[in-house]
A = this chain, B = another copy of it.
Amino acid sequence: MNYHISDRMASLQPSAIREILKATSDPSIIPFAAGNPAAEAFPAKEIAAISAEILEKEPITALQYSITEGYPLLRESIKDFACRHENLFHGDDALITCSGAQQGIELTTKCLCNEGDTVICEDPSFIGSLNTFRSYKTNLVGIPMEEDGMNLELLEKALKENPSTRFIYVIPNFQNPSGYTTSLEKRQAIYALAKQYGVMIMEDNPYGELRYSGESVPSIKSMDEEGIVVYCGSFSKIISPGMRIGYVIAPQPLLAKIIVAKQASDVHSNIWAQMVCDRFLRSTDMDAHIAKLNDIYRRKVSLMTSCMEEHFSKSVRFTRPEGGLFLWCDLPEQVDMMGFCNQAVQNKVAVVPGIAFAVQPGSHTHSIRLNFSTPSDEGIVRGIEILGKMTQEF
């Protein structure tokens, strides 16, 4: 049978990089393509103890239907956590829990965008979000990403040229895939432009807590006196991605619609996991916990970059991110980037071709993304040697 697929989904094609990404499930391949937290970063024992106590003392609450907005105690403890260093709530802002930040991005897009409306994104940007925007048939406009955030002139040009822009999508901290952090000046300028042109900002901050060096920069949401920023947070990188707990902070009138959308999407997120997350936040010194994670990742990124300095051809430029999980490498212009990625898999190292993150699929790119949190230390050393040898043959 020839199935009638909706226009929005028919146009979302499985990407050319699928085979490379599939390779990450082969244990003989060194996984620089994934984005998984390090196995040693999971507070598994603490979660097991908390879970056992919940299932002993409150099994019915943990197993029964719950409310769409999220477990009330968790909404409180997330608010305390998210606001411990800066204020993310203004005016009538409120918070819901959802199934990872990804679901927050999806529900917000569903509530804000008609088909054909414009979403302005950093270019390159996170493929998961780009596919969500595409799945609602929005018009994607990419703004080139620079080391201190998106190009402001091109952002303003895009806002002028696209009056049906609904929001600007930014990952201001240790952006996926580039690893770049948007400067305070650019955050202020992006906020001012959004205000001037009457569009919203979707601030996606999954990596913000993973800062290994340098000074933290205030989030755009902390400047939001006008109620124009939707903030998406996640516990995937600091507690557990498998539990699928994220959250959205947004002005109440918009959040009310997001709740209706979530009810029609999955009723509510796993309530047991919400209770575990709540108890973990309440019983843990989160700054100390995050400092331990950052010790793990600081060591891993430093191992990877020092191996790259030793083995990589000097013709390859790469970022030295202050946090997050990714390195971005620019191969020399003349190199066949896709050929390089395919050859790497042949050599048992999986990396992601930069084209995966391009806002327009046909774009030219000669970059690749490397992840340092998933592989073991031995994997990092061996994998970079293999890639390094390949770069020496350019």
* CB-based contact A64/B37 at 8 Å: yes
* CB-based contact A112/B4 at 8 Å: yes
Answer whether A1 and B111 are a contact pair too, CB < 8 Å, given A55-B48, A269-B244.
no
Q: What are 11 A-B contacts with C-beta separation under 8 Å?
A: A3-B112, A3-B253, A4-B166, A6-B113, A6-B114, A9-B110, A42-B59, A42-B60, A44-B60, A48-B55, A66-B242
A7 located at the interface, meaning its Cβ lies under 8 Å from any Cβ of chain B in the complex: yes
B residues in contact with A228, CB < 8 Å: 1
A86 located at the interface, meaning its Cβ lies under 8 Å from any Cβ of chain B in the complex: no
* CB-based contact B64/A265 at 8 Å: no
**Chain B residue, CB-CB nearest to A274:** B242
* CB-based contact B264/A131 at 8 Å: yes
Select one of B47, B106, B111, B265 contacting A5, CB under 8 A.
Answer: B111
Q: For the complex, what is the distance from the CA of A98 to the CA of B269, rounded to whole Å?
A: 11
* Nearest CB of chain B from residue A290's CB, rounded to whole Å: 16
The 3 A-B residue pairs whose C-beta atoms are closest, nearest first, are A44-B59, A48-B55, A63-B240
A251 located at the interface, meaning its Cβ lies under 8 Å from any Cβ of chain B in the complex: yes
Select one of B55, B102, B261 contacting A51, CB under 8 A.
Answer: B55
A124 located at the interface, meaning its Cβ lies under 8 Å from any Cβ of chain B in the complex: no
B residues in contact with A60, CB < 8 Å: 39, 42, 44
B residues in contact with A114, CB < 8 Å: 6-8
* CB-based contact B261/A244 at 8 Å: no
* CB-based contact A135/B242 at 8 Å: no
A303 located at the interface, meaning its Cβ lies under 8 Å from any Cβ of chain B in the complex: no
* CB-based contact A63/B42 at 8 Å: yes
User: How many copies of this protein are present in the complex?
Assistant: 2
A226 located at the interface, meaning its Cβ lies under 8 Å from any Cβ of chain B in the complex: yes
Known: A9-B261, A65-B242. 9 other contacts (CB 8 A): A5-B111, A6-B113, A8-B114, A63-B240, A63-B242, A65-B241, A99-B266, A131-B263, A242-B271
A132 located at the interface, meaning its Cβ lies under 8 Å from any Cβ of chain B in the complex: yes
**Chain B residue, CB-CB nearest to A50:** B55
Mark out the residues of chain A between 195 and 238 whose CB falls within 8 Å of any chain B CB in the assembled complex. 200, 226-228, 236
Mark out the residues of chain A between 44 and 78 whose CB falls within 8 Å of any chain B CB in the assembled complex. 44, 47-48, 51-52, 55-56, 59-67
Q: For the complex, what is the distance from the CA of A111 to the CA of B7, rounded to whole Å?
A: 8
* CB-based contact B9/A63 at 8 Å: no
* CB-based contact A1/B241 at 8 Å: no
* CB-based contact A102/B267 at 8 Å: yes
* Nearest CB of chain B from residue A44's CB, rounded to whole Å: 4
Select one of B48, B98, B243, B264 contacting A270, CB under 8 A.
Answer: B243
Q: For the complex, what is the distance from the CA of A52 to the CA of B52, rounded to whole Å?
A: 7
Answer whether A226 and B1 are a contact pair too, CB < 8 Å, given A8-B110, A44-B59.
yes
